[in-house]
Amino acid sequence: MSSIASSLRTGTLVDGFGRVHTDFRISVTDRCNLRCTYCMPLEVEFKPREQLLTYEEIARVAFVMSGLGIRTIRLTGGEPLVRSGIEGLVRQLVAIPNIESVALTTNGLLLAEQAESLFRAGLARLNVSLDSLREDRFVQIARGKGLDRVLAGLTAAKAAGFQSIRINAVSIRGLTEDEIVPLALFCRREGFHLRFIEFMPLDADGAWSSEQVLAGYAVRELLERQIGPLVPAVRSDTGQPAVDYCWADGAGSVGFIDPVTAPFCGQCDRLRLTADGQVRNCLFSTTEWDARQLLRSGGSDEMLVDLVQECVRGKRAAHGIGEPDFIRPDRAMYQIGG
């Protein structure tokens, strides 16, 4: 990691619409041990390893970003736990001045083995993706086995000491309706915060259509009808895209991330780094800024600051899903980092 250079500019990352960026999503790999239909193709060619940023390169970018107002980091992928030594990266990121929390999103398959070392490394929070509690449906969606391993991972994460574990479930019309109530009952019982995410046009197969979007409000209505009333939760973090509700009977909370039916672009505070070192200002951006090339050609931290500032200046007001001029990015979710 670079040392604190007194000449390195500090400041904030404010785009042309006044949005201040404080959250950084870092993808550590495009590889994965599942092939979820809404994310990856079945047959996939991964980036050659030498094109992925090393942990030292990632930490250097994160360090520069911390000087520009980034306060929270989330590691993602692909599946971050398939990259070896990830707890070492967590340790490096946690040690960066001004970084307040490092979190991670995982499919949970390798969590049972790694939960304790991640917790000890200082990982603050875990999001575990789980769309179904039925083995057959899990395999249908993820195109791989592993429900028992995810459940074992969740048990291990609790035992390791992780608090407020979140479960992410993608909602797809005609596919996941039956999963909604069982997942909610499971999370109420186990004390997990469940979040339903609307299906976005980022599947590698290009099969997304607006008819497949199961809207967050429809999921909420179903939950209220079948389980009980939900009341809006008091928001502590306005940068969070989820709209949270509490169960009126006190049995925890459930959130909705509705990028399609209720876009939250106006509050977006996120920037992204792909595993191959491209800085992005939006999941749906069609432009990327090449930090890897800069890092590997002797570029200075100052130059990295300029690259990131240019990326932020290039951010559009909104993703534009549903607009006539919407263009899907040519990279799918697993290549960008969810």
Site for ligand SF4 in 37-66 (CB under 6 A): 39-40
Q: Based on C-alpha coordinates, what's the Rg of the chain?
A: 19
Nearer to ligand SAM, 108 or 277 (CB): 108
Q: Are 217 and 171 in contact (CB under 8 A)?
A: no
User: Residue 67 binds which entry of ligand SAM, ligand SF4, none, with Cβ cut-offs from 5 to 8 Å by kind?
Assistant: none
User: What residues are paired with 168 via a beta bridge?
Assistant: 129, 195
CB of 289 to ligand SAM, least distance (A): 21
The residue number with the shortest CB distance to ligand SAM is: 338
Per CB under 6 A, does 254 bind ligand SAM? no
Q: Is 107 in the site for ligand SF4 (CB under 6 A)?
A: yes
Using DSSP bridges, classify how beta strands 72-76 and 23-27 pair: parallel, antiparallel or unpaired. Answer: parallel
Residue 329 interacts with ligand SAM (CB under 6 A): yes or no = no
Q: Does 77 bind ligand SAM (CB under 6 A)?
A: yes
Binding of ligand SF4 at residue 337 (CB under 6 A)? Answer: no
Contact mark string toward ligand SAM, 149..188, x via CB under 6 A? -------------------x-x------------------
Burial label, 227 (beta-carbon count in 10 A; 0-12, 13-18, 19+): middle
d(CA 254, CA 181): 12
Does residue number 202 form part of the binding site for ligand SAM (CB under 6 A)? Answer: yes
Closest listed residue to residue 264, CA positions, set 333, 306, 194, 216:
216
CB distance 130 to 150 below 8 Å? yes
Q: Which amino acid is located at 195 in the chain?
A: R
Least CB distance to ligand SAM at residue 257 (A) = 8
Nearer to ligand SAM, 129 or 281 (CB): 129
Closest CA to 67 of 11, 28, 120, 116: 11
CA triple 119-125-128, angle to 5 deg: 100
Binder of residue 118, out of ligand SF4, ligand SAM, none (CB less than 5 to 8 A by kind):
none
Give the burial class of 242: count Cβ atoms within 10 A of its Cβ; 0-12 exposed, 13-18 middle, 19 or more buried. Answer: buried
Helix then strand then coil, in percent of the chain rounded to 5, is 35, 15, 50
Of these partners, ligand SAM, ligand SF4, none, which one is at the site of residue 200 (CB under 5 to 8 Å by kind)?
ligand SAM
Total number of residues binding ligand SAM (CB under 6 A)?
20
- Of 106, 132, 309, 335, the residue at the interface with ligand SAM (CB under 6 A) is 106
Whichever of 40 and 172 has its CB closer to ligand SF4, that residue is 40
Residues 25 and 152: their CA atoms lie apart, in Å, by: 26
Binder of ligand SAM out of 13, 28, 32, 254 (CB under 6 A):
32
Q: How many CA atoms within 13 Å lie on the side-chain side of 197?
A: 19
Residue whose C-alpha is closest to residue 75's, from 114, 22, 124: 124
Of 120-139, binders to ligand SAM (CB under 6 A) are: 129
Task: Say whether residue 77 binds ligand SF4 (CB under 6 A).
Answer: yes
Tell me which of 23, 79, 269, 288 binds ligand SAM, using CB under 6 A. 79
CB atoms within 10 A of CB 70: 26
Q: Report the C-alpha gap between 21 and 69 in whole angstroms.
A: 7
Q: Which residues bind ligand SAM (CB under 6 A)?
A: 32, 38-39, 76-77, 79, 105-107, 129, 168, 170, 197, 199-200, 202-203, 333-334, 338
Q: Which residues bind ligand SF4 (CB under 6 A)?
A: 32, 34-36, 39-40, 77-79, 107, 129, 333-334
